Amino acid sequence: MPSPFDVLQVDRDADEETVHQAYRRRVKEVHPDQGGSAREFQLVQSAYETIVEGTAESWYETNGTDEPATAAESAPEPDPNVHVEYLDYEAVVANGWELGDDELFRKARRAGLDDDAYGELTVEPGDYLLEAAEGAGFDWPFSCRGGACANCAVLVVGGELEMTVDNVLSDELVAQGIQLSCIGTPVSDDLQVVYNVKDLPGLEELQLPSRTS
Ligand code: FES
């Protein structure tokens, strides 16, 4: 149902003179003698009266706004998934890169590595990182799948990964960014991890015999 302003073809904040001029024009356009109809004529008259009487705003209260949705209203729903950029530690070593290099992931992006070594995957809310990697077809290292070894360790370079159960990692390793992907749930919108870091100092002695998925 058109608003009174739509009927007169003026903006909602049009001034009195603009409304009056629009009314005069519209009345001529829809007059039955000019090819219009009695219903259209009445509609224009009614719209004009509603606006000049100052009651047009109540039309919106009754019918809602017919204005285009604001940017916030029409914005797509935020993506609840976490986007993870991963890099295989073997690729770090093979290319002579350093884990502490601020440019590490930028270098990896430009290196043309295979999908196994570098890429992005998506983790659904509450899912474990290792499971998400396996679900994406990757074969990341693991053994116990319960926080009792370091086979599935990753180095978190950006974002946050939260471990959900007690585990074998020392506070010192955790402070360095080491987390366990089998019990690690991303809690930031984005995450950057170097996986396959199980042979780093302090982790090697925590390994259990490897298993494959
Ligand atoms: S596989 Fe053992 S802690 Fe993750």
The reply to whether 25 and 114 lie within a common domain is: no
For the chain, what is the mean pLDDT? Answer: 89
Query: What pLDDT sits at residue 79?
Result: 79
Q: Which pLDDT tens digit goes with each residue over 155-166?
A: 999 999 999 888
Note whether residue 12 is domain-resident: yes
Query: What pLDDT sits at residue 102?
Result: 96
Q: Which pLDDT tens digit goes with each residue over 164-178?
A: 888 999 999 999 999
The reply to whether 109 and 61 lie within a common domain is: no
92 lines ligand 1 (CB under 6 A): no
Note whether residue 213 is domain-resident: no
Angle at which helices 38-52 and 56-63 cross, to 10°: 110
Reported residue count of the chain is: 213
Total-model pTM: 0.66
What's the gap in Å between 155 CA and the centre of ligand 1? 14
148 lines ligand 1 (CB under 6 A): yes
Which residues on adjacent β-strands are paired with residue 123?
82
Query: What pLDDT sits at residue 61?
Result: 76
Domain that holds residue 45: 4-69
DSSP string, 46-57: HHHHHHHTT-HH
What's the gap in Å between 59 CA and the centre of ligand 1? 63
Tally of structural domains, the chain: 2
The residues, ordered by sequence, that sit 6+ positions from 1 with a Cβ below 8 Å of its Cβ are: 63
The reply to whether 136 and 162 lie within a common domain is: yes
Q: Indicate the top mutation candidate among 151, 165, 168 to test ligand 1's pocket, ranked by most ligand atoms within 8 A of CB.
A: 151
Which residues on adjacent β-strands are paired with residue 185?
162
Of the candidate ranges 37-51, 122-136, 195-209, the one whose mean pLDDT is the lowest: 37-51
Q: Does position 12 have pLDDT exceeding 80, yes or no?
A: yes
Last residue of one domain, picked from the residues 35, 69, 103:
69
Residue (of 62, 65, 68, 51) closest to 16 by Cα position: 51
Note whether residue 147 is domain-resident: yes
What's the gap in Å between 93 CA and the centre of ligand 1? 23
Last residue of one domain, picked from the residues 39, 69, 99:
69
Residue pair 97/107 in contact (Cβ under 8 Å)? The answer is: yes
Confidence of residue 66 (pLDDT cuts 50, 70, 90): low
Residue 170 neighbours by CB distance under 10 Å: 12
Residue pair 154/193 in contact (Cβ under 8 Å)? The answer is: yes
| Separation between Cα atoms, residue 172 and residue 155, nearest integer Å | 13
Region 120-124: what's the mean pLDDT?
A: 96
The reply to whether 61 and 92 lie within a common domain is: no
The reply to whether 58 and 94 lie within a common domain is: no
Note whether residue 211 is domain-resident: no
What's the gap in Å between 131 CA and the centre of ligand 1? 12
| Separation between Cα atoms, residue 133 and residue 179, nearest integer Å | 15
Q: Does position 94 have pLDDT exceeding 60, yes or no?
A: yes
Last residue of one domain, picked from the residues 24, 47, 69:
69
Q: What percent of the chain has pLDDT over 70?
A: 92
| Separation between Cα atoms, residue 69 and residue 75, nearest integer Å | 9
Residue (of 205, 159, 202, 210) closest to 182 by Cα position: 210
| Separation between Cα atoms, residue 184 and residue 127, nearest integer Å | 8
Give me the CATH number covering residue 172.
3.10.20.30
145 lines ligand 1 (CB under 6 A): yes
Region 129-140: what's the mean pLDDT?
A: 97
The reply to whether 129 and 185 lie within a common domain is: yes
159, 163, 164, 166: CA torsion to nearest 10: -160
Note whether residue 116 is domain-resident: yes
What's the gap in Å between 26 CA and the centre of ligand 1? 76
182 lines ligand 1 (CB under 6 A): yes
